[in-house]
Chains A and B, each alone.
Chain A
Amino acid sequence: MLERVQSERIQTDCTIIDIRDVTRSYGAFKALDNASLSIGKGEFFSLLGPSGCGKTTLLRMIAGFDTPTSGSIAVDGQPMDGIPANRRPTNMVFQSYAIFPHLNVEQNVAYGLKRLKLQSGEEKRRVEEALEQVSLTGLGKRRATELSGGQRQRVALARALVMRPKVLLLDEPLSALDKKLREQMQVELRRLQQAVGITFVLVTHDQYEALAMSDRIAVMFGGRIAQVASPKEIYQRPVNRQVADFLGGMNFVKAEIVEENDASLVVDTLGFGRVRTDKPKAFVRNGGAATLGIRPERLRVLWDNATAKFEVAGKVVERHYFGEITHLIVEIPGLEKPLSVTETNDFGADDIPVGAPIRLAYDPEALVAMAD
Chain B
Amino acid sequence: MTAAAEGSPPLRMAGGRRNALLQSEAVQGVALISPTFLYALILLVLPILVVIAHSFWTQDYLTIDHTFTLENYRIALTEPIYRDLLWRSLYISLTVSLLTVLLAYPIAYFISFHGGRHKSLWLFLITIPFWTSYLLRVMSWKVILGYNGVLNSGLMGLGIIDEPSTALLYNSSAVIITLTHAWATFAVLPIFVSLEKVDRTLVEAATDLGDGPLRSFLRVTLPLSAPGVISAALIVMIPTVGDYVTPKLVGGKDGVMIANAIQAQFGKASNWPLGAALSVTTMIIVSLMAGAAVLVIRALQRLAR
Contact = CB atoms under 8 A, between A and B. Distances in A.
B34 interface: no
Given A63-B208, A86-B211, A94 B201 contact: yes
Interface in B33-71: none
Given A103-B305, A115-B215, A91 B209 contact: yes
A98 B210 CA distance: 15
B204 interface: yes
A85 B204 contact: yes
A111 B223 contact: no
Contact of B204 (A98, A101, A159): A98
A86 B201 contact: no
B212 interface: yes
Nearest to B204: A65
A115 B199 contact: no
Contacts of A94: 201, 204-205
Nearest to B200: A98
A102 B204 contact: no
B235 interface: no
Given A102-B223, A103-B305, A115 B210 contact: yes
A111 B207 CA distance: 11
B210 A163 contact: yes
B207 A98 contact: no
Contacts of A103: 305
Contacts of A239: none
A334 to B, nearest CB: 54
Contact of A98 (B201, B212, B215, B223): B201
A45 B209 CA distance: 22
A112 interface: yes
Interface string B277-305: 00000000000000000000000010001
Given A100-B202, A100-B220, A112 B209 contact: yes
B123 interface: no
A65 B199 CA distance: 15
Nearest to A85: B207
Given A96-B199, A96-B201, A107-B305, A102 B207 contact: no
A163 B305 CA distance: 18
A351 to B, nearest CB: 48
A150 to B, nearest CB: 18
A90 B207 CA distance: 11
10 contacts: A65-B208, A85-B207, A85-B208, A86-B210, A86-B212, A91-B208, A92-B205, A94-B204, A96-B201, A98-B201
7 smallest beta-carbon distances between A and B, as pairs: A112-B209, A98-B205, A98-B201, A92-B208, A85-B207, A86-B207, A115-B210
